[in-house]
Structure 1
Amino acid sequence: MKVLITDNCHEDLLIGLSSHGNEVDYLPHLSLNEIDAIIEAYDGIIINTRVKMDKARIDLGHCLSFIGRMGSGLDIIDLPYAALKGIKVISSPEGNAQAVAEHSLAMLLTLLNKLPLGASQVKNFEWDREGARGRELSGKTIGIIGYGHTGPALAQVLSGFRVNIKVYDKYKEISDSVNCAATIVQSTFEDIIAHCDVISFNIPLTDETALLIDESLLRRIKPGAILINASRGGIIKLDDVWNAIEDGRLGGCCLDVFPNEKPQTYKEEEADVINKLAKHPAVILTPHVAGWTIESKQKIAQILVDKIVSNI
């Protein structure tokens, strides 16, 4: 096959596909227009977040037999249309689940222990120990909404903190703890929203989950709870989250993903809410890097090679 890789990847992806007799063009610096101009020549395309495989781009790929996704989010691919055209979609959510889980925990511990404040104090030669007093994670009840790949990984990294873990997944029975050292309790969505001290959303962006975290949900949440979202920015309404932070309903939030991740396109109101969140001491923000570690980059490459070779 002739395969186009449109984004930065680990060399194992190129080496692995080439070793199975495929012709691989690694062209991560192409613009979207340049990709559109040549896509018709390829049997497969491997993308990351910047290249959206919508109906128009799929139609340009006359010879495509598969679309490979580095990572997990499939909202950038028109799945029904790809299926209609007989194009297989191959993703690699197993490759970055551990990275997202560890990053989520890192954001949470950073927030609870006021690490940015403490670091700032030392830089300014200030020792306000009372002001930098943090909170322990131990003993708290953690809710995990979505238990596909990242959810179990998060439960595992939390298991050493002596926390209570409640899990909800609309499409999956949680009959085992996936080798987790902690006790996992299957719960309902509303129970987690109303009673958990920390709630992590690990769900895809679909018509069903778009803007799920809105004013209505935030009014039902346990007062003082902390939200974590390292899944998809489109599931959260930032203005409503800011209002809940500002009036004290939310105890904090840790966000790695945002509805719009192209700052150069921000409208004034979008930039304003990001600025307000970024300046608040109970908010930790990172630029969609949770799943993009040194290790996950290689894991994703290896998983894609295995799946493509096995399925195409």
Structure 2
Amino acid sequence: MDRKGKVLIAAPVHDVLTTGLAAAGYELVWSEQISQEEAFRLLPECVGVITSTRLQLNRELIDAAPMLEFIGRMGSGMEVIDVAYADQKGIRCIGSPEGNCNAVAEHAMGMLLSLTKRITKSFSEVRSGLWLRDENRGMELEGKTVGIIGFGHTGSAFAKLLSAFNMRILAYDKYHPVAATTNITPCNSLEPVFREADIISFHVPQQEDTHHLFNREFATAMQKPFILLNTSRGTVVDSELLPGLLQSGKMTALGLDVWEEEPLSKMSAKLRIVFNELITLPNVVITPHIAGYSVEALFKMSDILLKRII
């Protein structure tokens, strides 16, 4: 078999990908916990790299890899890759956003149900010996209006799950047209979301125009008390606003799977104060960026990448 060169595996992947690449003639170089510095040492000998969010495939790193033919991205969001520069160099940039969209949608649904039914809060109280029924009266989702910001793979997958609850969905996507259906209303601006939404869920990439998309102006424009969900990127939400919004009642609950500075060990002192305050509040659920990391999603993303590479 002709050898096709080395591929750096710089992310957790399913065996379907590594077995398939090896069978196709690639030599695998493993470094799932790779640092940016180590990548400069390993990539010059590689024709391909499989990454997630750990590496920044910027101009400097791309220039340091003269043999590079393809970059495979586990999951969605190509912000870790200078795609335009890679294109100029003839390097294929291959994503797998549909591989984990259902996992993210189910996670967002789980957080929403936990918050509206007070599941996490009441279980914590039961573990402490409390049996509080009136204090944990839940809210039904039926008839509520959800504003989905970003209607690509994950946003549309979340809408599909919400439709089973007979909810009205306002779908806003700045870059892609949204088709109207029985329960989905496309929005050309955020004004209908500000006016009518009971729940906001973000499903947008990390880029310049989404940095702090949820800011003070956004929160002020909301006409109803609302629940906020973010399973996209931490920088989409201005975290410093959150404790005040929750304590004032403007925001009734908060579900986050992402944080502005990850992992927590790299958090600034300023955001640590905000984070420590949030995790004491009963109407908050925070998970460690695991929404798109299900067992099934790992397989689906790996399988999609393999087929697109081969």
Q: Same fold (TM over 0.5)?
A: yes
How far apart are residue 282 of structure 1 and its match?
A: 1.7
CA deviations 1:200-239 (Å, max 9, x no partner) are 1111111111111111111001331111110011111101
What is the CA–CA distance in structure 1 between the aligned matches of 2:267 and 2:277, rounded to whole Å?
14
Change (3 A) 1:121 1:29: closer
Select the residue among 44, 48, 59 that pairs with 1:44.
48
1:204 aligns with 2:239: no
Select the residue among 148, 156, 172 that pairs with 1:168.
172
Residue in 2 that maps onto 1:184: 184
How far apart are residue 176 of structure 1 and its match?
A: 5.3
Residue in 2 that maps onto 1:55: 59
What is the CA–CA distance in structure 1 between the aligned matches of 2:51 and 2:176, rounded to whole Å?
28
Residue in 1 that maps onto 2:294: 293
Q: Retained in 2: the 8 A contact 1:193–1:199? A: no
Residue in 2 that maps onto 1:81: 85
Residue in 1 that maps onto 2:7: 3
CA deviations 1:96-115 (Å, max 9, x no partner) are 00000000000011011111
Secondary structure of the equivalent of 1:36?
Answer: helix
Amino acid at match of 2:22: S
Gaps of 5+ in 2: none
Q: Retained in 2: the 8 A contact 1:145–1:167? A: yes
How far apart are residue 29 of structure 1 and its match?
A: 4.1
Amino acid at match of 1:94: E
Secondary structure of the equivalent of 1:208?
Answer: helix
Secondary structure of the equivalent of 1:43?
Answer: strand
Paired residue total:
305
Residue in 2 that maps onto 1:106: 110
Secondary structure of the equivalent of 1:45?
Answer: strand
Select the residue among 128, 133, 137 that pairs with 2:141.
137
How far apart are residue 22 of structure 1 and its match?
A: 2.2
Amino acid at match of 1:184: I
What is the CA–CA distance in structure 2 between the aligned matches of 1:260 and 1:82, rounded to whole Å?
27
1:148 aligns with 2:152: yes
Change (3 A) 1:87 1:161: same
Q: Retained in 2: the 8 A contact 1:155–1:165? A: yes
What is the CA–CA distance in structure 2 between the aligned matches of 1:222 and 1:81, rounded to whole Å?
43
What is the CA–CA distance in structure 2 between the aligned matches of 1:174 and 1:36, rounded to whole Å?
41
What is the CA–CA distance in structure 2 between the aligned matches of 1:172 and 1:212, rounded to whole Å?
17
How far apart are residue 142 of structure 1 and its match?
A: 1.0
Amino acid at match of 2:226: A
Change (3 A) 1:138 1:5: same
- The percentage of counterpart residues that share the same residue type is 37
1:255 aligns with 2:259: no
What is the CA–CA distance in structure 2 between the aligned matches of 1:164 and 1:3, rounded to whole Å?
46
Q: Retained in 2: the 8 A contact 1:12–1:302? A: yes
Q: Retained in 1: the 8 A contact 2:40–2:64? A: yes
The alignment's C-alpha RMSD in Å is 1.5
Q: Retained in 1: the 8 A contact 2:261–2:268? A: no
How far apart are residue 193 of structure 1 and its match?
A: 2.4
What is the CA–CA distance in structure 1 between the aligned matches of 2:227 and 2:137, rounded to whole Å?
17
| TM-score, normalising length: structure 2 | 0.94
Secondary structure of the equivalent of 1:261?
Answer: coil
Residue in 1 that maps onto 2:232: 231
Amino acid at match of 2:184: I
Residue in 2 that maps onto 1:28: 32
Amino acid at match of 1:43: V
What is the CA–CA distance in structure 1 between the aligned matches of 2:150 and 2:192, rounded to whole Å?
14
Q: Retained in 1: the 8 A contact 2:106–2:158? A: yes
Residue in 2 that maps onto 1:127: 131
